[in-house]
Structure 1
Amino acid sequence: MEWKNLYRGLIMGAADVVPGVSGGTIALLLGIYDRLITSINKVFSKEWKQQLGFLIPLGIGMVAAIFLLANGIKWLFNHYPRPTQFAFIGLIIGVMPLLLKKSDAKVNFKWQHLLLLLISAVVAAGLSLLQGDEAFIIAEIDLITYVFLFFSGFIASAAMILPGISGSLILLLVGAYGTVIHAVTELQLDILVVVALGIGLGVITMSKIVSYCLKQYPLMTYAVIIGLVIGSIYVVFPGWPIDGIDTIFSSLAFLLGLAFAYVLGRVEYQES
């Protein structure tokens, strides 16, 4: 078991709780994105034991983060919303140098790659224009609700695999976010199991698509990924600070997120 993935899973899980921030973006920062996609694809192959050694600690960390950090992150958003969002913006921007280096965009990208990048950025940013209600919780749970929550988990987890698209944001847009977060805090196991099944199927499906695209169209895939990450900055951006104190705290939070991304990226990519 690669137990180091516990802390990686904690960071990815914490990011997935935040609408607008993608666990896939954090996986890029941690230098494990390609291996994550490969491991998920090989779970049903002869090498499944080796993949589980990588995925199980990562999954434990993500689940632990969702249960342990959901309330803490919610508290930060309620009491210090702007600095918290600026910290995540710093984290997202900190991924960009790694992406540009990995794709060697300055040398390899042509006009078609730049066009794909622009379209992806606009699509990701456009998600912020859609409305969702975080407080909405489904009161009556029946068969139709379970089917809805299953497919909500499927769609959201498919989005989680893509850097720059937040699974939590997708849950928010389809109207399932409040119900899922409430189920986490109240330990409503029936809802959590149904959503988890949808998430599992969605992760497997999207990982196969991403794996194919990375192998067949690597530069175009990286152009799309970079565009999605850029567009996600607009989704998280809370507006400019309103006064001096807010400016100081937001600036410090942004620099902290940027520094964390830089240090983490340096450590992880040197070790990989």
Structure 2
Amino acid sequence: MWEWRNIYRGMLMGASDVVPGVSGGTIAVVLGIYDRLIEAVNGFFSKEWKTHLKFLLPLGIGVVIAIGLMANLIEWLFEHYPGPTQFFFLGLIIGVLPYLVHKGDVKHKFKWNHYLLLLLGAGLVASMALFQTTESDVMQNLTMSDYLLLFFSGWIASSAMILPGISGSFILLIIGVYTTITSAISDFRIDIIAVVGVGILCGIVVMSKIVKFFLENYTSGTFAIIIGLVIGSVFVIFPGVPDSATLMVISVLAFIFGLLAAWLLGRVEYK
């Protein structure tokens, strides 16, 4: 049976992947489909590929729709209301932590080494806030080396996207190709979209196999790292304290709305 409900789930994931600092993997956790997503990507290359295709195709359609239609909206929000927008996603990210703690059964299964892994994961992502993210101009007159850069940028970014807490868009910012790729989407540059798209697919396939292996064989340790990655992303996306009372009120409301969105999505999906 085709899971057409995944179209809206994919739209939420795609919209989040446009935002530097927010991970589509985090949204997958909020929606309660992270484990299924990893299973479906791996199962697509098995005899049961038709079953997994019915899960993945609607999800992919939603992601493409969101990236194509919502990229401009997200860009507009960040241009005119950067602080409140980041506080909304901050609330969304923090809102997923109780589910992760419950899913990983932290209270009963975590030992000192798991907390160490959690701290390492948080430190890894939080340190990304120190990276230089000044964007270069849109790449013109692309050479073969430029296409290779775009391919491996897509590969690396998608590997990050599938991990909760690590933003693929932020990785693209660090590499310096974020503007080139978003402009290619807006201008419908088929060559760039195709090269980056193939890189993204390769990265998702490889990283999903790695995540599946560790979830099956080192469950508590994997959840410890994932929780750490999500906590670390809070430091990356935190925009700082608003500099006016009005902006403070708007930002707090946006943060609360983000928390509520995570809670509501969780209640709807887990039913």
What TM-score do the two structures reach when normalised by structure 2?
0.98
Deviation at 1:176, TM superposition (A): 1.1
The amino acid of 2:249's aligned partner reads: I
8 Å contact 1:213–1:221 — kept in the other structure? yes
Q: Percent identity?
A: 57
Aligned to 2:57: 56
Q: Secondary structure of 1:88's partner?
A: helix
Q: Is the 8 A contact 1:137 1:182 kept in 2?
A: yes
The answer as to 2:259 corresponding to 1:258 is: yes
* Structure 2 equivalent of residue 67 of structure 1: 68
- Corresponding residue for residue 110 of structure 1: 111
Aligned mates of 1:133, 1:2 — CA distance in 2: 40
Any gaps of 5 or more consecutive residues in structure 1? none
For 1:137-176, what per-residue CA distance to the aligned partner results, in whole angstroms no more than 9, with x for missing partners? 1122111111110000000000101000000011111111
**Aligned residue type for 1:78:** E
1:76 matched residue in structure 2: 77
- Deviation of residue 133 (structure 1)? 2.5
Native 8 Å contact 1:133 1:175 kept in 2: yes
Cα deviation, residue 244, structure 1: 0.6
- The change in CA–CA distance for 1:40 and 1:112 in structure 2 (over 3 A counts) is same
- Does the 8 Å CA contact 1:133/1:178 hold for their aligned counterparts? no
Aligned partner of residue 21 in structure 1, secondary structure: coil
Per the alignment, residue 3 of structure 2 pairs with 2
State the alpha-carbon separation in 2 of the partners of residues 142 and 261 from structure 1: 43
In 1, the alpha carbon distance for the partners of 2:105 and 2:26 equals 18
> What TM-score, normalized to structure 1?
0.98
SS of corresponding position for 2:96: helix
* Residue of structure 2 equivalent to 1:203: 204
Counterpart Cα distance in 2 of 1:93 and 1:132: 24
Which residue of 2 is the match for residue 40 of structure 1? Answer: 41
- Number of paired residues? 270
Alignment pair present for 1:268 and 2:269: yes
Aligned amino acid, residue 227 of structure 1: G
Alignment of 1:1-272 (within 5 A): 1-134=2-135, 136-270=137-271
SS at match of 1:163: coil
SS of corresponding position for 2:124: helix
Mapped contact 1:16–1:168 kept (Cα < 8 A)? yes
Note the C-alpha offset of 1:134: 3.7
Task: Find the aligned partners of 1:181 and 1:113 in 2 and give their Cα distance.
Answer: 38
Report the AA paired with residue 2 of structure 1: E
The answer to whether the 8 Å contact 1:5/1:54 transfers is yes
The question of whether the paired residues in 1 share the 8 Å contact of 2:136 and 2:177 is answered with no
Partners of 2:137 and 2:73 lie apart in 1 by: 20
RMSD: 0.7
Runs ≥4 in structure 1, deviation > 2 angstroms? 133-136
* Helix, strand or coil at the partner of 1:139: coil
**Aligned residue type for 2:6:** N
Asked whether the 8 Å contact 2:84–2:251 carries over to 1, the reply is yes
Q: State the alpha-carbon separation in 2 of the partners of residues 140 and 234 from structure 1.
A: 37
The CA distance in 1 between the partners of 2:175 and 2:243, in whole Å, is: 31
